[in-house]
Chain A
Amino acid sequence: MRRTVVLASVVIVECLLGAGGLYLRSRQPLPPWPAQHGLNRLDEAALRRQYQNACRGWASDWIELARSYAAWGFWPEAVACYEQACRQAWRAAPEWLFECGFYSGQLGRADQAVQYLERAIAEGYKDPEIVWFFVAQNQLRQENAEEAKVALRRAELLPAATYELARLYNKLGQPEQARRIIEPLTRSFRFHYAPFFVHLRAAQLLGDEDEERRAALEWLSLAYPLRSPFDDQHDELSRRLENTPYRQGLRYAHQLLSDGKLDELHAHLERLLEAEWSVEAADLMAEWATREGRVAQAEQVLRDAIQRQGATLHLLWRLGDLLFDTGRFEEAWDVWEQAAVVGRGDRELDQFLTYVMLKAEGRGEVVRGKQYDAARWLAEGRIRLARGEFQDAAGALRKATELAPGDPQAWYLLAEAARCNAQPSVAREAYQKCLLLVPHHGRAQFALGLLR
């Protein structure tokens, strides 16, 4: 009898628990689906599959969906998924709490962000310094200076946290304190501009004009940023976006092109372009048309891409190439000239100019070839200077000045490269050459004044 009672009790308890569980499940909300998402058909289908998985109700599926939403920029939906997953999981993983806190901060919900981030630390997140860094950011969003300071001190193993703390001291009107904190970082990161910015601000606040000029020149010359935990989040999102079906489709198209499978490539590109027009897909289609000998179609595709997306160095380079190969040389030169203008900030400009120079020389156009030769060294010097490759920059710019000694820009940039490369005498001479050509060149005067 006792056994029967116990068994019956067990069954009743099970029924109650089961019914309760089923009731709760029937009350469990569905995952959100982003309204007006604007995704193409391929990406939407992939996201829809993740959504269906999340409809099973397991926390881990909600988290995967949240991560995808975050990558697409659907942050409100992502945070809603993270929150639901953290609620329904037996124990919310610290990573989930951290991510929920991070995106809550991105939404401007700083208070909520701090709560989630602190829970992530309490649950044993593997890099608490990183979490404290973001706690500090959310305290700054709420203008809680003291709380932000505390959090940044807890994260001070991170150079970015030290930098932020020093910046905060500057903002709070304590430049001496800022200088003291940033000094070790300045020594460790000699080629990074961020620590010098703190020195610059401190000098500005203290009214120390000489120090401000020196720090300004240093800060403006250095090329490397100081990496922060925020960059890691940025990279993670970029990686996720690179693996969306559409992007994978583009990579596959490149593969087909390099394998020479042109028929398959064409069908594949049509599918991609039907899903969503993109300049990359159009560019590949133009390449397919060129290889198939359909020059008119290739030209049409490229001109359409320029019309839709704007003129870029890459598109104009390709269009010029097409025109050149079909014997329309004057049109090609015009297009390439436009490419050299709009591609002024493009990191491939020097390669392009070298290419065009070789084309000019190949056709025996000596004057045009020389112009492009000087331009390419100038472009290479500019690009290397921006990258912090000062020695190579100086080499390229030296050639630019040899080819175009009347170009003040070449002399000025050579001087800058030499100054950054610790060659003050070369720099001085080049600044002076620049000032001979343009006596009112303010930046050359400024730098030369400091070199003296």
Chain B
Amino acid sequence: MEIDAVASWFASLDGRQPEKCPKKVNRTDRPVSTTEPRTGRWGWQDRLLLAGALVLPLLFGLAYYFLPLGRQPVPVKLDASRFDPSTIPFTSRSLAPSLTGDPRITHVRFCDLDQDGLMDVLVCDAFAHRVLWIRQGPSNRWEERVVGTERSVLAPGHAEAIDLDRDGDLDILVAGLGSLWPTDDAVGSVAWLENVDNQRFVPHLLLQDLRRVTDVQAADFDNDRDLDLVVAEFGYHRGSIFWMENLGEGRFRDRLLMAVPGTVHVPVADWDGDGDPDFAAVVTQNEEEVWGFENLGGGQFQRRLLASTINFDFGGVGLVRCDLDLDGRPDMLWVAGDNYELLSHHPQPSHGCVWLRNEGNWNFSSRRLVTFGGTYGAAVGDLDGNGLPDVVLVSMFNNWRDRQAASIIWLQNAGGGRFVPWQISSHPIQLATVDCADVDGDGRAEFVVGGAHITKPNEPLAHLLLWRAEGGPTTTGAGR
């Protein structure tokens, strides 16, 4: 039937009715004239061509359907940050091999807690709700001691060694997150682990029923010769920055300074050089800002916005006090690398670290030092022993599906404000925190990193590693 229809259409091209079907043609009634043009007849060529014209689309369609695609997959850009390998080799060793379970180290800090002249490490382990003291003994031996448990602080997020009661030994101040996971619930706390007798620590809960607390720092803000505290109550959607006036005998009165969510760090320094301690604060939730709090005396502070961006996805994670240009004025490193809003994460162009250079009189110029996906921790120390402070950065959320993606890099201070990035290692992955100090007294800084396993992939992970540079200083070169 269809052939008839198509034949009819073709016949119309010749201006005559087609020969329909041989059976229906009465050849006796209508003898074929020898003069009749042959164009009206369907020869075998026409029939073949017609059949081809009809069948070919079907054949090509089937071939199209069954023919496999090309061999090359569509190109995918993973956006992982990689750098040239460091010309100084670094080696690592585990500091706490007994730690088990998922690594969830939220903070590491070098300090000489027992004041024996050897650097120790304070560690916050949010997995087991413990504060650990990794004590360095003679001959490079390290031993672990638990100094805080869940009874004193839940999910510790930050610990500092400081003589809070001014009795000559170092106590520990702990910021209690309460929960590693985002929540606005009042689960946070501020704890003081009082060093009462040769590193026997007694916990005191200074403040509880706070939203998640990420940092607590001590300084004599009101100039009454005792140490007050400034607290970053991160929360989630709501939070605050407040200071706690030391009333003596372990009592503190909290005073709200600014209601704002997402404050991660509140580093204390004399930012304006007027002789009294001020502090800065990095806000990372809702807004991406760095604030300065100028100490006016008598418990009064004046807020100053030092740096900000309207890029809500900047990913601020921290603020580190430093003096990169060695001009005697404290600078800051504004660290960015968070990106966990949508069940997953990905390195962003804004990740890395920005140097906020103190120009004096509360003016800070900003300069990006490096773009490094998922940066979560930064520390400053002279890694190559050339007398200039370098920067170590660790990444939590680089794209780990690229096995060469950097997890630790250092920015070699080549002088004149020039910093050259070098990749130290691509493993372990998911590192949350780093601190730098000259542990062995050789004039070059070592650094310790802590891992926090939040999401896949599940390896290679580590809890706590001490890294040290081997060999001599490197020549400078351009990193990627």
Contact = CB atoms under 8 A, between A and B. Distances in A.
B237 A193 contact: yes
A189 interface: no
Contacts of A57: 69
Interface residues of B, number: 93
B21 interface: no
A8 B49 contact: yes
Interface in A365-409: 382, 386, 409
A308 B53 contact: no
Contact of B259 (A10, A216, A382): A216
A201 B256 CA distance: 15
A7 interface: yes
B71 interface: yes
Interface string B63-92: 111011111111111110000000000000
A84 interface: yes
Interface stretch (B184-192, B319-327, B379-387): B184-192
A7 B344 contact: no
Interface in B10-27: 10-11, 13-14
Interface string A47-85: 000000001110000000000000011111100110110
Interface string A107-132: 11000000000000000000000000
A140 B287 contact: no
Contacts of A142: 311
Interface stretch (B346-354, B432-440, B466-474): B346-354
A425 B46 CA distance: 101
Nearest to B345: A73
A442 B347 CA distance: 41
A141 B253 CA distance: 40
B252 interface: yes
A15 B60 CA distance: 8
A237 B67 CA distance: 33
Contacts of B263: none
Contacts of B154: 341-342, 344-345
Given A36-B457, A108-B346, A108-B347, A412 B209 contact: yes
B50 A25 contact: no
A220 interface: yes
A187 interface: no
A234 B150 contact: no
A234 B342 CA distance: 6
Given A80-B76, A219-B238, A1 B39 contact: yes
B47 to A, nearest CB: 9
A77 B57 contact: no
Interface in B43-67: 43, 45-46, 49-50, 52-53, 56-57, 59-60, 63-65, 67
Nearest to A222: B238
A298 to B, nearest CB: 20
A182 interface: no
Interface string B312-356: 110000000000000000000000000001111111111000000
A37 to B, nearest CB: 7
Nearest to B129: A342
A22 B310 contact: no
B183 interface: yes
Nearest to A54: B69
A150 B455 CA distance: 37
B311 A140 contact: yes
A225 B237 contact: yes
B151 A341 contact: yes
A6 B10 contact: yes
Interface stretch (B99-107, B272-280, B444-452): B99-107
Contact of B64 (A25, A73, A137): A25
A252 interface: no
Contacts of A216: 240, 256, 259
Contacts of B183: 345
B223 interface: no
B254 interface: yes
B141 interface: no
A2 B16 CA distance: 13
B30 interface: no
A344 B187 contact: yes
Contacts of B101: 307-310
B64 A75 contact: no
A7 B342 contact: no
A345 B286 contact: no
Contact of B310 (A2, A80, A148, A225): A148
B100 to A, nearest CB: 7
B70 A11 contact: no
A424 interface: no
Given A193-B237, A220-B238, A310-B101, A342 B150 contact: yes
A171 B102 contact: no
B337 to A, nearest CB: 12
Contacts of B76: 32, 76-77, 80
A238 interface: yes
A233 B43 CA distance: 64
The B contact surface, by secondary structure, is loop
B303 A22 contact: no
A171 B102 CA distance: 40
A3 B128 CA distance: 86
Contacts, number: 234
Given A30-B72, A73-B344, A440-B247, A143 B240 contact: no
A241 interface: yes
Nearest to B255: A442
A204 B67 contact: no
Contacts of A27: 70
Contact of A3 (B46, B79, B308, B456): B46
Contact of B53 (A14, A171, A201): A14
B49 to A, nearest CB: 4
A2 B258 contact: no
B259 A21 contact: no
A168 interface: yes
B301 interface: no
B140 interface: no
Nearest to B351: A108
Given A35-B401, A106-B346, A141-B311, A14 B238 contact: no
Most buried by B among A31, A38, A225: A38
Contact of A22 (B63, B238, B259, B311): B63
Contacts of A193: 237-238
B74 A443 contact: no
Contacts of A382: 185-186, 209
B403 interface: yes
Given A108-B346, A234-B343, A55 B68 contact: yes
A345 B69 contact: no
Nearest to A36: B401
B342 A237 contact: yes
Interface in B251-272: 251-256, 258-259
A442 B63 contact: no
B343 A30 contact: no
Given A31-B74, A220-B238, A237 B311 contact: no
A3 B347 contact: no
Contacts of B71: 30
Contact of B74 (A25, A56, A72, A80): A80
Contact of A30 (B73, B150, B402): B73
B335 to A, nearest CB: 17
Given A10-B53, A38-B457, A204-B303, A442 B254 contact: yes
Given A80-B75, A233-B342, A386-B186, 7 more contacts: A26-B69, A108-B350, A141-B350, A309-B102, A310-B128, A342-B154, A386-B185
Interface of A: 1-4, 6-8, 10-11, 14-15, 17-18, 21-22, 25-38, 55-57, 72-77, 80-81, 83-84, 106-108, 137, 140-143, 145, 148, 167-168, 171-172, 193, 197, 200-201, 204, 212-213, 215-216, 219-220, 225, 230, 233-234, 237-238, 241, 307-311, 338, 341-342, 344-345, 382, 386, 409, 412-413, 440-443, 445-446
